[in-house]
Structure 1
Amino acid sequence: MQLLKKCAGLRIACNTIPQSSPAMNIHHFTSLLCVLALGACTTPPNPETKPMGENVLSQDAIHAAKTGPVEFTAHVKPVLEAKCVMCHNRKALPGHMSLENRTEAMRSGALGAYIVPGHPESSLLVANVKSAHQKVSVMPAVGERLTPDEYAILTKWVKEGAQWPAGTAGTLKIIR
């Protein structure tokens, strides 16, 4: 008589074997190897990176940004402060992309411009948030990823010209 046993989602056929026989020991050993092999094939998630977080913005703010112009202080700044600037600032990554203020964010790096107003497809900020390219790390590397709503708002903001006010209104607070 055959029994079907599951080994981590795979069905393995085996004959019914008496519990005390040497064949049962081999069967247990084989089953254990199967489970260990399957476990070794999976990559554990980075404990610091969460898949997708909650929207930082309220549903009203999301609706306003989707149906009207995207405003930096109301729609973009809260997302960048909550999910980006903790790593992308002058202190955490000296010489790399900083989102602390407009001047820092609009400069170009070795790989191109961080933000190209009017062209989200050419902006590293937009590309790195949702990249399908294997060699590009999807941002943020630590913390909650942007939601589809937040990504759409960020993309629309860049497409609309990436208006970023000077002074305090345009300076991001580093939240840790």
Structure 2
Amino acid sequence: MKLVILDRDGTINVDSDEFIKTPEEWQPLPGALEAIARLNHGGWHVAVASNQSGLGRGLFDVASLNAIHAKMHKAVAALGGRIDAVFYCPHSPDEGCQCRKPAPGLFEQIGERFGVDLRTAHVVGDTVRDLQAGAAVGCLPNLVLTGKGESLRGKPLPEGFPEGTRVHRDLAAFAEWLTARVPAPRAP
């Protein structure tokens, strides 16, 4: 199984220092949803791994988060794509859990759920912690220069990024690179 694990805020949708708390606040980045559909059409399954500390901070509830994800799923489906599963950490930063990125817990859950060797999976995110979490379980790291990654445009990667990190303009550029590199499986 070919798997791509995406961060959500700053990779798929516009990020906010005030947190994305409602479906109305969730707005896709230009070309990101089309990129997910392109990955799917190239034979890739897509999962999302997202820190959602707004839950632990009491800024929104699970019903609101589910409504945000329903909007995301519907928007991707309208373009002929799909997100196979969304995994999220509900904890605040001070809870010391194993699922908040850069800890690898969400990625371990994804590997178990899909029964896939994560050393063949790509992780895509806009922060070093996204890539560190994926690299801790062997994922191939890919940084997008959207969201928090925008501050790295035109600069060398600072220390802390996993070895072999590839840099892409945005999720669409990553999808173009990956689908051109690895052809879709052929029908028998």
Q: Tell me if both proteins adopt one fold, taking TM over 0.5 as the criterion.
A: no
Using structure 2 for the length normalisation, give the TM-score: 0.24
Between Structure 1 and Structure 2, whose CA radius of gyration is higher? 1
